[in-house]
Amino acid sequence: MANVIIIRPISESWDGELYKRALSIPHGPLTLSAHLIDKGFDPLIIDEIALTETIRTEISEKAINKLKNSMQKEKPICVGISSMTGEQIRRGKIFAKMVRDFDETIPIVWGGAHPSLLPEMTIEDETVDLICTGEGDISFPILVNELKKNGTGDLSKVPGLVYKEKNNEIKKTKPAPLYRMDDMPPFPYHLLDMELYIKNIKKKDITRYFEINSSRGCPYKCSFCLNSKEGIPYTKARSSRIIQEMVRLKNEYKIDGISFNDENFILNKKRIEEIAQAAIDLNLNIKMRGGGRVELFLKFDDRYLELFKKAGFYHFALGVESGSNKTLKSINKQITTDQIMDVIDALVKHKFQSTYNFIAGFPNETIEDFQETLRTIYHIFERCKYMVYPIPAPSFYCPLPGTKSFDDAVELGHTVPKTFEEWTDVDYNLKEMVWISKEFHEFIVKSRDVINNINMKYTGDNAVITKADLQPLKDIMN
């Protein structure tokens, strides 16, 4: 029985290795459920990825049955759908149509990054009744409470809401106030098939792995990132609150490995120091990984890095994006290639595992610029002996609405999707990227293959990458 259903659809591009990454805790729906339970509602989460083993074009039977069975048992007050820009939209719409076919009076509420960015276009879609923009922590429970009143509720009371009046006029209420993560009610982990998520990722010395967010957003303004848009809040939980969550996960779910999924976990130096110190004092014995910006990592001297090691930190993921100073400047990354080299040295010196994320095909980037990225990747392969996993091949730059890089791509010929549905089609893996030359696109495809082939050599902790293995990369980077 459930009186509110929240769906996280998958994306077909999450197949393969990404499937494992994507089989990650649906933090959005889980957070919303925590608030609903706190207000006396009874939510159900349908996390499509947890209900399918192979990602196909059709929605899995398991997910369909879970949705239909729940609606048959009890008519929900509303069904919520969470979506980023891209494939999740198409599948979210399929779920929404199932709800409509079942009972067209059930309100369908969309939330998440994409509906929040383009609410006016999204609300025009036939599968959308209401949109909660931004964080749903405060607005969603208020909305559900109003919807419970069977048509007599007052939607204008709900902050952060976009909806249509009976005369089809679109109404937008004032934004919801910033939510304090320290006030979060307990996460209702019992709503998820926890064992599935916990056992999904196996790493050295870690048997039971879990992911948490200790902050949301990031105050920097890299021109390709959603956080660069005005009004996207940055908010963080206190270290004591995070430690409390870790202790709970250890005691209740025997977790021995935690990934901080924050976009910029290392932002606040003092907070990380407190987490590390508390992990030592409490003898938590949990392996930890986190990530963030290159120059912030460089603020940690040897004393900090030793403390982190002692506390159980084993891995840092750094947002590098490019090995070219010209490109770094054009995307407003505010870091330099020298800093990137220093970070690599610091991580190697302290024997941390590391991941460096790269993106290829930014507007105005050239093959020559990208070759500098390839040279950086070559350097990392040579230098990082403790990189138990491969360097992810650079991902294709994807123009996301609300960002400067998106506007740059449009200026260079990228077509802006005109409907909610058209935003589904933003997967550039196999497609032409009109804002760069065809030749550059083909070069990215080839470079990714070369890097992925080198990565195939990683067969475990003792993998050795030889100069001969790296030769194909050397051939294309010069």
Closest CA to 349 of 316, 324, 321, 372: 316
Residue 85 interacting with ligand B12 (CB under 6 A): yes
Of the candidate residues 2, 33, 76, 140, the single one contacting ligand B12 (CB under 6 A): 140
Q: Which residues contact 33 (CB under 8 A, 6 or more apart)?
A: 6, 43, 45, 188, 191
Q: Which does residue 398 touch among ligand SF4, ligand B12, none (CB within 5 to 8 A, set by kind)?
A: ligand B12
Q: Which does residue 8 touch among ligand B12, ligand SF4, none (CB within 5 to 8 A, set by kind)?
A: ligand B12
Q: Which does residue 22 touch among ligand B12, ligand SF4, none (CB within 5 to 8 A, set by kind)?
A: ligand B12
Q: Which residues contact 241 (CB under 8 A, 6 or more apart)?
A: 181, 182, 184
Structure tokens at 54: 């192979």
Amino acid at 52: T
Of the candidate residues 10, 222, 278, 454, the single one contacting ligand SF4 (CB under 6 A): 222
Residue 454 interacting with ligand SF4 (CB under 6 A): no
Residue 109 interacting with ligand B12 (CB under 6 A): yes
Residue 68 interacting with ligand B12 (CB under 6 A): no
Of the candidate residues 290, 319, 323, 390, the single one contacting ligand SF4 (CB under 6 A): 319
Q: Determine if residue 168 is left, alpha or beta; phi over 0 gives left, psi from -120 to 50 gives alpha, anything else beta.
A: left
Strand pairing report for 215-216 and 235-236: antiparallel
What residues pair up with 5 in beta bridges, in sequence order? 44, 79
Q: How far is the CB of 282 from ligand SF4 (least distance, A)?
A: 29
Residue with smaller CB distance to ligand B12, 48 or 369: 48
Q: Which does residue 123 touch among ligand B12, ligand SF4, none (CB within 5 to 8 A, set by kind)?
A: none
Question: Terminal CA-to-CA distance of the chain, rounded, Å?
Answer: 62
Site for ligand B12, residues 242 to 301, rule: CB under 6 A: 261, 263
Residue with smaller CB distance to ligand B12, 265 or 470: 265
Three-class SS state of 256: coil
Amino acid at 149: K
CA distances from 175 to 35, 132, 216, 404 (A): 18, 10, 17, 23
> By beta-carbon distance, which residue lies closest to ligand B12?
111
Closest CA to 300 of 265, 269, 278: 269
Residue 7 interacting with ligand SF4 (CB under 6 A): no
Which among 216-224, 371-379, 401-409, 412-420 is the span making contact with ligand SF4, rule CB under 6 A? 216-224
Of the candidate residues 83, 85, 122, 264, the single one contacting ligand SF4 (CB under 6 A): 264
Q: Which does residue 172 touch among ligand SF4, ligand B12, none (CB within 5 to 8 A, set by kind)?
A: none
Contact string 381-410 vs ligand B12 (x = CB under 6 A): --------------x--x-x----------
Separation CA 381–CA 23 (nearest Å): 28
Residue 3 interacting with ligand B12 (CB under 6 A): no
Q: Which residues contact 413 (CB under 8 A, 6 or more apart)?
A: 434, 435
Separation CA 38–CA 46 (nearest Å): 19
Of the candidate residues 76, 80, 292, 394, the single one contacting ligand B12 (CB under 6 A): 80
CA dihedral 216, 117, 47, 196 (to 10 degrees): -30
Site for ligand B12, residues 173 to 202, rule: CB under 6 A: none
Of the candidate residues 2, 46, 226, 331, the single one contacting ligand B12 (CB under 6 A): 226
Based on its alpha-carbon atoms, the radius of gyration of the chain, rounded to whole angstroms, reads: 23
- C-alpha atoms less than 13 angstroms from C-alpha of 25 in its C-beta half-sphere: 24
Residue 227 interacting with ligand SF4 (CB under 6 A): yes
Which among 225-233, 279-287, 367-375, 386-394 is the span making contact with ligand SF4, rule CB under 6 A? 225-233
Residue 220 interacting with ligand SF4 (CB under 6 A): yes
Separation CA 198–CA 208 (nearest Å): 5
Q: Which does residue 399 touch among ligand B12, ligand SF4, none (CB within 5 to 8 A, set by kind)?
A: none
Q: Which residues bind ligand B12 (CB under 6 A)?
A: 6, 8, 11, 13-14, 21-22, 24, 26-28, 31-32, 80-82, 84-88, 109, 111-114, 117, 132, 135-137, 140, 213, 216-217, 225-227, 261, 263, 395, 398, 400, 427
